[in-house]
Structure 1
Amino acid sequence: MIKSLYIRIVLMFLAAVIVSLIAAAVLTGYMYEKALDEKVQDSMVTLGQGLINVYERAGVENRALLMDDVKELLHGMSLRVFTDEGEVETYGTQNRSSVPIDREKIRQALNGETVRGKSVEGVFVGLGFRDGDRKYALFVEPADEFKDDNTVGNIILTMLGIVLAAGSLFFVIEATFLVRPLRKMTEATRRMAKGDFDSDLKVKRKDELGVLVQSFDDMRRQLKQMEQIRQDFVSNVSHEIQSPLTSIGGFAKALKNDRLVKNDRDRYVDIILSETERLSRLSDNLLRLASLDSDHHPFQPETYRLDEQIRQAVVSCEPQWSAKLIAVDLDLPTVKLTADRDQLGQVWINLLGNSIKFTPEGGEISIRIRQDVRLVSVTFADTGIGISPDDQKYIFQRFYKADRSRNRNIGGSGLGLAIVQRIILLHNGTIRLHSEVGKGTAITVTLPYDCRAKIL
């Protein structure tokens, strides 16, 4: 069993070429053999008519002497003259095996008809002429050396051999170029299996193989991106876990000091509890994201008042925004929505929590609902620190924290907006961000009234 695609392609091509050439040779020989025979017979007819004219002028009785004089001119032809009395005279080049001529053709020629014939030995023509009351039939056929001469066949075979050799050489070269991208893909696959996704396949072909290679290269880039995301995810999770664990471990060791005063001991315990809660929130968010990413995440739609749900979220967060003296402005007309109440409740809590977190004391947060015939939009706008244009492109990525130097003391794991975006996508909605540094941020969530339907 041949495993190499290159060898299989070459052998298949050679087999196809050889079969095609044999078929072409047979068909060509069949098509042109008849035409060549007819052309040879036409030449023999012309020769025979010329000889008959000479016979008639010089006298038929002198035909033997005449043929001796012109026998050099008849090189390559054999002549037989039949009389009506059954006699046979032979002139020109003598054949070892003359073409057999049946009596019917001789009779037709004696009667003045032009006879053409072919047998295994070769072609012949017959012409009739008279001398007084006597009838003669002149039959012309090629000599033996011309019968054995297969010049046309040799030319055809030579041409076919040249075509086969040149075509095979050309296809071997072409097959190399054909298989080269597949070999590159094989090598790239082996490297990818070892974790190396940097094999850039540069192929300029536009055919099906080029499309295949381009698709493979697109897959390679996506896998590379996914691998980078996986590595970043592991790195971020490790970092987010390591920081509170370090604090917990450090302050737990400090608590073992017997000379520690009560106030310091209580403060260290509060820090340990705070870091423990931070780890718990991180764990909850990771589990929630994993569940949202799975195909089996529960989705339980129900019809309820969206405006009431948002008001409840504002009330539940009142300790946070009132502590910072933030004014909350609500514009919430009555809206009924069919969606998963718990999931969207998480969205409004996360968005409001972000607005409170990044809005300075004395700032303002506004929440508005807008409706049209098909869609409902909810906008959370604040007068907070804003987000730079460079950060806005990545703000929904997991663990991404815009401008860490300014908000490292604010807290958070960078998973809140990633969870929000995932929930909105599960509800067939969209989320948009508009922000200016120093002026604030506005996030707009757009949903269909029935979140089981897609936004057109």
Structure 2
Amino acid sequence: MIKTLYFRVVLTYLVAVIIGLVSTFYIALSLIETIGDQYANRLQRNLMKDGISIQKLYRANGIDHAEIALEEEKLKKKYEVRVYDSTGKLKTEVGNPPADLYIISDEVVRSVLDGGTYRGMEVAPTELVVGLPHEESGEKYALFIQISEGTVVYYSLLMLFIALIFNLLVGCFIIFIGARYLVKPLRGMKAAAERMAKGEFDIELKWEKRKDELGQLAKSFNYMASEMKQLETMRQNFVSNVSHEIQSPLTSISGFSKALQRDDLTDDERKLYLTIIQNESERLSRLSDNLLKLASLDSQRHPFEPSLYDLDEQIRKAVLSSEPLWSAKSLEWRLDLPKTKIKADEDQLNQVWINLIGNSIKFTPEGGIIHIRIVQHMDLIEVFVADNGIGIPLEDQRKVFERFYKSDQSHNKNQPGSGLGLAIVKKIVTRHRGTVTLNHNPGGGTIVTVMLPHRI
């Protein structure tokens, strides 16, 4: 679970919160202590200064009327004032006392009654108190002044604000580090995508070893770059092969057309040149037709109309349609075609059998044998097309279904063909959710195996 990106994001935020709270608790304590001491000293100075002012107000107005004077001077809300008589008992209490009221001992009261002053603080500046002597009508009194509830709230809010600011800074720092860890691979992928958009496909991201979604994304990105690089290579080879296949017949047509302009040609030579031009023109026409067919199949716009029909009859008709070719070479046919129903695109599969039969005829020597048989399984149909021709080398058997690929052993200059026939076969069979393979025939030659589902 920890390997997922979602969990890591959640964990980053949780760690940020926990570390922020813990560090705030410890570090903010030291800050609060430092700031608290400074604040306490300032409060103490202000308290002593205002305490003297309050003492003067009591002297000027008397204990019974001092509260009005304190309110007029706006000191009543800031401080809580307690007055003790000469016996040490509380006489009056004026102001807004804080929740944590400072407890004054009898010894402290007695020392102030004797004319001394007192400055005290229990735990925090909120419990800061000043004691001052006061005399009225020959009686001695002790004035104790403590900061009010409003000042306590202000101090508490100040400390809370400092803690929250520090917590925010620590949390932001941790989230920044975590976000950088998460965003860095995305920035790398963005840069790699921009390079790919410019045609650079030799790219490999280094984050594919990560175990989270970013690692999977990097792995998929590297695979995509590899596939696009291979596709670009195939595209370049395709353009090169098409140019070569077109250039060869065009050169022949151009050359023999110029030769026909000579006046010293015999009738036989003229007929020969015209025949060559016609053959090369037909070759160009077949090439164009195959290219258009492949382009249509690639675009998925090629009509696909499956229907139920007899596969065995279709193969027999394909063999009969090629009779002029195999009769000229005196080839022997062995057909093992039991009654077989299949639901598929009849026109497209007919192209498959014509291409495979044409290849077998083309590369089987005179007097050779071509064997076609159908084997039915529960869900699949296997069609075997075997010949005892010259065969195809093992290293070429997987490549023969690539476009324009020609085996040096099986394809020579005397054999017509563009290298697109088997590519069309593979495309059609794949579209029918089937497979096609080519293997060596133990008796010599090759065996092409086409596997198709009974129904599409």
Give the structure 1 partner of residue 337 of structure 2: 332
Give the structure 1 partner of residue 189 of structure 2: 185
Gap regions ≥5 residues in structure 1: 1-8, 30-96, 104-108, 110-117, 129-140
1:183-210 Cα offsets, whole Å, 9 max, x none, are 3223222222221111221213222333
Instruction: State the 1:322 CA deviation.
Output: 2.3
Give the structure 1 partner of residue 267 of structure 2: 262
1:350–1:147 distance in 2 versus 1, CA, 3 Å: same
| 1:269-288 map, 5 Å | 269-288=274-293
1:230-263 Cα offsets, whole Å, 9 max, x none, are 2121111111111111111111111111112222
Match of 1:219 among 221, 224, 227: 224
Counterpart of 1:367, as a letter, is I
2:302 paired with 1:297: yes
Q: Do 2:390 and 2:410's aligned partners in 1 also have CA atoms closer than 8 Å?
A: no
Counterpart of 2:257, as a letter, is A
Q: In terms of mean alpha carbon deviation, does 189-198 or 410-419 score higher?
A: 189-198
2:340 paired with 1:347: no
Instruction: State the 1:446 CA deviation.
Output: 2.1
1:304–1:406 distance in 2 versus 1, CA, 3 Å: closer
2:429 paired with 1:424: yes
Count of residues in Structure 1 that have an aligned counterpart in Structure 2: 348
2:94 paired with 1:147: no
3-state SS in 2 of match to 1:258:
coil
Q: Do 2:356 and 2:385's aligned partners in 1 also have CA atoms closer than 8 Å?
A: yes
1:392–1:262 distance in 2 versus 1, CA, 3 Å: same
2:202 paired with 1:198: yes
Give the structure 2 partner of residue 395 of structure 1: 400
Counterpart of 2:319, as a letter, is V
Provide the rounded CA distance (Å) in 1 between the counterparts of 2:387 and 2:97: 107
3-state SS in 2 of match to 1:267:
helix
Provide the rounded CA distance (Å) in 1 between the counterparts of 2:24 and 2:83: 35
What TM-score, normalized by structure 1, do the two folds share? 0.65
1:130-152 Cα offsets, whole Å, 9 max, x none, are xxxxxxxxxxx9537963699x9
Q: Do 2:372 and 2:385's aligned partners in 1 also have CA atoms closer than 8 Å?
A: yes
Give the structure 2 partner of residue 132 of structure 1: none
Provide the rounded CA distance (Å) in 2 between the counterparts of 1:101 and 1:361: 130
1:348-404 Cα offsets, whole Å, 9 max, x none, are 111111111111222211011111333222110111122222212222111111226
Q: Do 1:324 and 1:360's aligned partners in 2 also have CA atoms closer than 8 Å?
A: yes
1:211–1:372 distance in 2 versus 1, CA, 3 Å: closer
1:162–1:261 distance in 2 versus 1, CA, 3 Å: same
Instruction: State the 1:290 CA deviation.
Output: 1.6
Q: Do 2:335 and 2:372's aligned partners in 1 also have CA atoms closer than 8 Å?
A: yes
Match of 1:314 among 284, 309, 319: 319
Counterpart of 2:194, as a letter, is R
Provide the rounded CA distance (Å) in 2 between the counterparts of 1:249 and 1:155: 96
1:122–1:142 distance in 2 versus 1, CA, 3 Å: farther
1:324-364 Cα offsets, whole Å, 9 max, x none, are 22211111112222322222211111111111111122221
Q: In terms of mean alpha carbon deviation, does 244-253 or 330-339 score higher?
A: 330-339
Match of 2:369 among 342, 364, 368: 364
Provide the rounded CA distance (Å) in 2 between the counterparts of 1:318 and 1:442: 21
Counterpart of 2:451, as a letter, is T
Instruction: State the 1:119 CA deviation.
Output: 5.3
Give the structure 2 partner of residue 434 of structure 1: 439
1:120–1:367 distance in 2 versus 1, CA, 3 Å: same
